[in-house]
Structure 1
């Protein structure tokens, strides 16, 4: 599905907040996942994992991490902001579901979340 691992409602909310069309954000998130999926093992080694689900892992990276990823993906400032916001909103949604929203909000004050899909049907790495 377009926009995985970010949920559809989260994509709509993030697109509205970042002034990016709802049709464009899933494509941008997919581009980010193309870069992030093969780096999953590196994220597991180098970053704190805040959440692990059946098809998604969320890591906390240093502030400015999305600026670097945006450069790698050749995203405009608005596109970069939209993708970062989608990852933030996904983390907050997970926090609401797990009664950890306050802790996740505190973490977002100093670090940036990176959501990486782990579904076995993604086909983006040697084990997938």
Structure 2
């Protein structure tokens, strides 16, 4: 378990800001990805795709979307918050590298992000 498709620096930053240890966060992300991966087509139909790579698709979703995900994956609140933060940090880091930081930050003021891995088993 390694936290794919969230990049390592985003995981470290999210773990530092959350009350979840850095050794646990990759496993939590993997647990959530096991739920999200099979729903990629559903996300493509329902949500705004803001970036796609060979490994993952990044979607903007409603602000309370993580509560809905939590109904299916059953995380403690602090674990859910840490995973959500990891997804948002991944989007921010991507925004920096693509020159879209301002666009993504503005989007995160009213929505949140979900990174759905393409290669999740």
Aligned to 1:36: 36
TM-score, with length taken from structure 2: 0.96
Q: Offset of 1:118 from its aligned partner?
A: 1.4
Aligned to 2:11: 11
Moved over 4 A (4+): none
Q: CA RMSD in A?
A: 1.0
Residue segments in structure 2 that go unaligned for 5+ positions in a row: none
**Partner of 1:61: helix, strand, or coil?**
strand
Aligned to 2:72: 72
Q: Does 1:55 align with 2:59?
A: no
Aligned to 1:93: 93
Larger relative CO (CA 8 A, sep 6+): 1 or 2? 2
Residue segments in structure 1 that go unaligned for 5+ positions in a row: none
Deviates more, 1:64-73 or 1:31-40: 64-73
Q: Offset of 1:68 from its aligned partner?
A: 1.2
Residues 3-36 of structure 1 deviation map (CA, whole Å, 9 limit, x = unaligned): 0000111111101101210010001000110000
**Partner of 1:13: helix, strand, or coil?**
helix
Aligned to 1:103: 103
Aligned to 1:112: 112
Aligned to 1:2: 2
Alpha-carbon distance in structure 2 between the residues aligned to 1:68 and 1:42: 14
TM-score, with length taken from structure 1: 0.91
Q: Offset of 1:71 from its aligned partner?
A: 2.3
Alpha-carbon distance in structure 1 between the residues aligned to 2:21 and 2:100: 30
Pairs aligned (count): 121
